[in-house]
Amino acid sequence: MTAIPVPLDRLRWTLTDGLTLAGRELSRLRQEPGQIVAALLFPVVMVVLFGYVFGSAIQVPGGGDYRAYLMPGLFAMVTFTAVQGVMGRMAADASRGVMDRFRSMPMARSAVPFGHSGADSLIGVPLLGVMVVTGLLVGWRPQQGLLPAAEAFALIVLLRYALGWVGVYLGLAVKDEQVAEAMVPLGLPFTMLSNAFVPTDGMPAWLRFVAEWNPVSALTAAIRRLSGSPGALPGDAAWPLAHPVAAVLLWSAALLVIFVPLSLRAYARKGR
């Protein structure tokens, strides 16, 4: 008879199976080099579009180079694409027979959601590297030294991981690759409704409120602060912008606390 697995064993298998599935995502990407190219090209296009096209007409509050102001916003924007990416991959799995096989195998129940969120982090780090190099090329510099820069990097990875779980949940909720794909364009306005591209002071009051509490703004403000990028805050800035590092930590924790259990439950109940 098989022994009842002790919790530690369970945790080990969750991690091992999650890693196997994360490896699967990477192998899948290798079969589709076009996707990698598109993912890497997207931020570069954004730098050119906003940094050089729109940027020529935008004034940075408190003065400074617009492209140095913009780069933290683009870091944040790319971080938030995790939601769409994971949602699409999770929905594709949920709509196919391969999920039935996973669920009929003696593997850890939570491995599939963990695999998807974990794989996204593995994809996210090299993506962030490309972004940093692009930023350095167009004149952005981490002014505060290495340690705060590393701190910013860690915040990005943490929030990206939490956002991956939002994607897992949404993917399980829509269950359909096409629906997930149709939702992708919604991501752009969501990230633009923030301080990533323009300061919030000029927005009408209600819009400004939304933008200041948008987690994209908190992450952007945190990166700006930790890298010493231009972009002085208005004196009456909302709490998340005045305390951006704490705000990003809180956002990450809240998303994980809500979406990890929701996703695990949705996965376990699928097909019941």
Partner 1 sequence: MSDPIVVAEGLRKSFGDTHALRGLDLSVPRGTVCGLLGPNGAGKTTAVRILATLSAPDAGHARIAGHDVVREAAQVRERIGLAGQYAAVDEKLTGRGNLRMFGRLYHLPRRQAHRRADELLERFGLTEAADRPVGGYSGGMRRRLDLITCLILRPEVLFLDEPTTGLDPRSRGEIWDSVRELVADGTTVLLTTQYLDEADRLADDVAVIDHGKVIATGTPDELKATIGDRLDVVLEDPATRPAAAAVLNALAGAGPATAGADRLSVALPATGLRLADIVRDLDRAGVAVADVSLRRPTLDEVFLRLTDRKEPVR
As a whole number of angstroms, the distance between CA 1 and CA 20 comes to 27
Neighbouring residues of 174: CB distance < 8 A, sequence distance ≥ 6: 87, 91, 180, 183
Cβ atoms of 73 and 156 closer than 8 Å: no
Q: Which is nearer to partner 1, 31 or 56 (CB)?
A: 31
What is the gyration radius of the CA atoms in the chain, in angstroms? Answer: 20
Question: Which of 239, 221, 229, 190 shows the shortest CA–CA distance to 77?
Answer: 190
Min dist. Cβ of residue 86 to partner 1 (A): 16
Chain positions contacting partner 1, by CB under 8 A: 2, 5, 13, 16-17, 20-21, 23-24, 27-28, 31-32, 96-107, 111, 271-272
CB closer to partner 1, 91 vs 255: 91
Nearer to partner 1, 74 or 107 (CB): 107
CA atoms within 13 A on the CB side of 178: 0
Instruction: Tokens for 197, please give them.
Output: 């591209």
User: Considering beta carbons, is residue 114 or 140 the nearer one to partner 1?
Assistant: 114
Q: Which is nearer to partner 1, 109 or 243 (CB)?
A: 109
Nearer to partner 1, 98 or 154 (CB): 98
> Which long-range CB contacts under 8 A does 57-60 form with residues at least 24 apart?
58/197, 58/198, 60/199, 60/230, 60/231
Residue 193 CB, shortest distance to partner 1, in Å, is 34
Minimum distance, C-beta of residue 111 to partner 1, in the bound complex (Å): 8
**Cα angle: 9, vertex 12, 14; to 5 degrees:** 110
CB-count exposure of residue 188 (10 Å: 0-12, 13-18, 19+): middle
Nearer Cβ to partner 1 (22/237):
22
Burial class (CB in 10 A: 0-12, 13-18, 19+), 127: buried
